[in-house]
Amino acid sequence: MSNFNRILLKLGYATLVAPSAIVPVIMWFETVKLQEYLQEWRQFQDNYNRVIGESDGTFRIAIVKKRVNRIYQSILLFLLITGVAILWSPSTISDVFVLVCTIKSISTMVFITGFWFVGAIVIEATIDGYKKKLQTDLDGQDGLRFSARSIEDYRLLWLQMSRLVHGVGDYMSATVTFCIFHTTVVVVLSVYALAVWGATLVRLRRYEALASALVALACNATSLYVYCDCGYSQTKKCVDNVILLILKLKSSARWTTSNYIQITLFLNAVNQYQPNVNVIGFYEINRGLLGSILSLLLTYLIVLIQLNSSFTTPSTVEDNNNTIMT
């Protein structure tokens, strides 16, 4: 094995250990901010129930809880299968410390991804409930039931909701940044391992190592999608629908001056303050970020493969095959 691949192998071990050591420390510092955020979310929920309706809010909470329970049951089942596979695999890591850290790191990253996915579901359900209530009120009496006060309530609720979604990246900035960076590194290393050693592993019938790389690639690629696009794509559809509803409301009747002003302010608020997650002003978590990460992955993968071919000699290829066989 070349020195370059030995360095990458050590980096691979570091990625196995890093989450178990770094994430708890980061989250310990962010616990107070997260508690403040949850308190703000509870205040928003009270205001949401007042505007949207207590019964609708309770019904949606029950649906979300069922989905969340199914998600965490799936996570526990996945972790159980992964733990058994690691312990019974013939190529199990011999170092007990690294093995324990690996299992802990996998559990940590899976639960954070699950937490982020649950958050995306909650945000999606909240905005969807907002949209449906607005649609119901608009269809009920052709928009005539809207007073300037009720339109202002919708606008203020939207601003509060947008600020909370936008603030997720501020309250969990370090955790989110580390998770996205770590997941990106693991995807690069997994694709590199499959590209460089995949054929050799098949020839030597080391299918468990090949399966491990494929599972790591699939799981971390899914995590990247969850972080960057899972909630964004659905939220974007709801935002577009809300804008269409406001335009329909604006043209549905002849409004008084005060009502027309409130509708215009409402439309401007939805256009300017969309519920996008922004990480302390540095970057937004959306589909554009996912595209940037994918292009970065391709660039670094090409660089790594070129570096590997420049460091590889006939003797290192033979040593590499012998190392894999052992």
User: According to the model, what pLDDT value does residue 56 have?
Assistant: 58
DSSP 284: E
In the numeric block, which tokens belong to residue 118? 């649950």
Range of the domain at 261: 3-325
Name the band, by pLDDT with cuts 50, 70 and 90, for residue 94.
Answer: low
User: Taking CA 261 as the corner, what is the angle to CA 260 and CA 266, rounded to the nearest 5 degrees?
Assistant: 95
Closest listed residue to residue 271, CA positions, set 252, 248, 249, 246: 246
Mean pLDDT, rounded, for 301-310: 80
pLDDT per residue as tens digits for the range 43-81: 888 888 888 876 655 656 666 667 667 777 777 777 777
pTM score of the predicted model: 0.77
HSE value, Cβ hemisphere, 13 Å, CA-based, for 24: 9
In the numeric block, which tokens belong to residue 279? 């990480």
Name the average pLDDT for the chain: 77
How many percent of the chain have pLDDT more than 70? 79
Distance linking the first and last C-alpha atoms of the chain: 12
* Number of domain units in the chain: 1
**Alpha carbons 171 and 228: distance in angstroms, whole number:** 17
Q: What is the dihedral of CA 99, 115, 185, 176, to 10 degrees?
A: -120
Give CA 248 to chain center in angstroms.
Answer: 33
Mean pLDDT, rounded, for 151-172: 84
**Alpha carbons 16 and 177: distance in angstroms, whole number:** 17
Q: What are phi and psi of 283, to 5 degrees?
A: -155, 155
- Comparing 111-115, 136-140, 194-198, the range with the smallest average pLDDT is 136-140
Helix H or strand E encompassing 94:
none
Under a CB-based contact definition with an 8 Å cutoff, are residues 233 and 120 in contact? no
**Alpha carbons 279 and 269: distance in angstroms, whole number:** 21
Helix H or strand E encompassing 3:
helix 3-52
In the numeric block, which tokens belong to residue 94? 């011999």
Amino acid at 64: V
Can you list the positions of beta strands (E) in the chain? 277-279, 283-285
User: According to the model, what pLDDT value does residue 53 have?
Assistant: 74
Question: Which residues face 277 on adjacent strands?
Answer: 285
User: According to the model, what pLDDT value does residue 133 have?
Assistant: 83
